[in-house]
Amino acid sequence: MSSDSAALMTRGPIYKQIISFALPLFWGQLFQQLYNIVDSIVVGNYVGRDALAAVSSSSSFVQLLVGLFVGIFMGAGVVISKYFGAMDEERVHRAIHSSVAFGITAGAILTAVGLVFTPQLLRWMETPEEVLAQAILYLRIYFAGALFLALFNTAGGIFQAVGDSKHPLYYLIFSSVLNVGLDLLFVAVLDMGIAGAAWATVISQGAGAFLAFSRLHSTDGICRVEFKKVRFDRAIIREILRTGLPSGVQNSVISFANVVVQANINTFGPAAVAGYGASCKIEGFVFIPITSFAMAMTTYISQNLGAKKYGRAKRGAAFGIVICCLIAELVGLAYYFFAPFLVSLFNSEPEVIALGTQHAQIIAFFFFLLAFSHVTAGIMRGAGRAVVPMLVMFGCWCVIRVAYIVIVTKYINDIRVVYWAYPITWTLGSFFFIYGLLGTDWIHGLERNGRR
């Protein structure tokens, strides 16, 4: 990556910079989502309902483990962005090489945990017996390639931290197209079943990671990765963990709550698992603009606070919140009306379509609350205040969500009770995030944490 690929977000038109940075992230997230949705569409149509249920029942477990490390990668991005905004090239290099060392370590840990604990956790989630064997096979292959997943996220975080959201997009497009081709080859042509879908994902992620690090290694710019310099810098790692660990815990506790939701869905049988899983895959697309603006705001805020441009940071934060909530609600309305057709793409059984549509139409009108929470979390993360969104999401999206499901389902055995857990906890969380923005001095978080 040449030096002109990096982009300072501390000068120039605020709105234009945020949107131009978020758009490649949007397209990148769109193609990233294809990793998940193509597996499900191909498996659901070529292998069957039980195979689709096996992929769906494993997704919450994947998010639980991956979420912890992805959150820490976010912390690494905040640290790199801050030093890049302050034009501290020496610390940028140290932060980048420490991030790569962490990515390698995280990949090894994910592989070990996934391979060893997959059967026990899927049984704990009450995965239906008829799909358990396929779910175990899919997850074990997936986690065998966890190093590629970790390195792909590491490289993407480095690019984005310095304002380059275009190169991650290119590699995601390549990986997604490759994933589609391999899915069709392995599953539809070679009849490898659910294992073929898993191997397609692993191979495409590996190819994307290779291309990304080839670029980072060959650049003569500020983001050059020299593999002989990859090591843990204690001071940098402490700073990364101080920012990233709360984000990782936040992701994990949300995923843990979703595991509890999935475990309850599993008790309603394979049709419910398949329908809910299909709806969640579609919801992932709805979530794309939310994620894109949240990531953009983290980079924007951390760069501007690193440069001590506090007023600019506040103006950008207000714009990010308004535009993201508006887009999320418009997409949610479209999701409400097109849900039956979209769910039917995964499986044509009427019961699967009905249960998936029911989930979609319960949550669709509340996406603006989800957007507000995530963009606010991204702003606070960029300000070095990652503990605040961690506590809010742990309290509302984990503790209250799980308690609600456990208590209410004892008295009302209706799948709609489980579906309503999301809008209820999104609403509660939004009230706390409003206080976090208006009732605290988040803008000087970096300075109070002693990170100038």
Question: pLDDT for 147-198, tens place per residue?
Answer: 998 898 888 888 878 778 788 888 888 888 898 899 889 988 888 888 888 8
- Give the separation between CA 300 and CA 296, rounded to whole angstroms: 6
> How large a percentage of the chain has pLDDT more than 90?
20
Q: Are residues 380 and 388 in contact, defined by beta-carbon separation less than 8 angstroms? A: yes
Nearest to 287 by CA among 374, 355, 378: 374
Nearest to 367 by CA among 336, 399, 404: 336
| Backbone torsions φ then ψ of 76, nearest 5 degrees | -60, -40
Burial label for 229, CB within 10 Å (0-12, 13-18, 19+), is middle
Q: Over the chain, what is the mean pLDDT?
A: 83
Name the more confident of 138 and 32: 138
- Give the separation between CA 245 and CA 285, rounded to whole angstroms: 26
pLDDT of residue 324: 92
Name the more confident of 93 and 74: 93
What does the H/E/C string look like for the chain?
Answer: CCHHHCCCCCCCCHHHHHHHHHHHHHHHHHHHHHHHHHHHHHHHHHCCHHHHHHHHHHHHHHHHHHHHHHHHHHHHHHHHHHHHHCCCHHHHHHHHHHHHHHHHHHHHHHHHHHHHHHHHHHHHCCCCHHHHHHHHHHHHHHHHCHHHHHHHHHHHHHHHHCCCCHHHHHHHHHHHHHHHHHHHHHHHHCCCCHHHHHHHHHHHHHHHHHHHHHHHHHCCCCCCCCHHHCCCCHHHHHHHHHHHHHHHHHHHHHHHHHHHHHHHHHCCCHHHHHHHHHHHHHHHHHCHHHHHHHHHHHHHHHHHHHCCCHHHHHHHHHHHHHHHHHHHHHHHHHHHHHHHHHHHCCCCCHHHHHHHHHHHHHHHHHHHHHHHHHHHHHHHHHCCCCHHHHHHHHHHHHHHHHHHHHHHHHHCCCHHHHHCHHHHHHHHHHHHHHHHHHCCCHHHHHHHCCCC
- CA dihedral of residues 30, 82, 151, 182 (deg, nearest 10): 10
pLDDT of residue 206: 93
Token digits for 107?
Answer: 């990949």
Summarised one tens digit per residue, pLDDT across range 370-407 is: 999 999 998 988 888 878 888 898 899 888 998 999 89
Nearest to 356 by CA among 369, 368, 365, 347: 347
The answer to whether residue 296 scores a pLDDT higher than 90 is no
pLDDT of residue 5: 52
How many CA atoms, within 13 angstroms, populate the side-chain half-sphere of residue 432? 20
**Per-range mean pLDDT, top range of 120-129, 248-257, 424-433:** 424-433
The answer to whether residue 30 scores a pLDDT higher than 50 is yes
pLDDT of residue 4: 44
> How large a percentage of the chain has pLDDT more than 70?
89
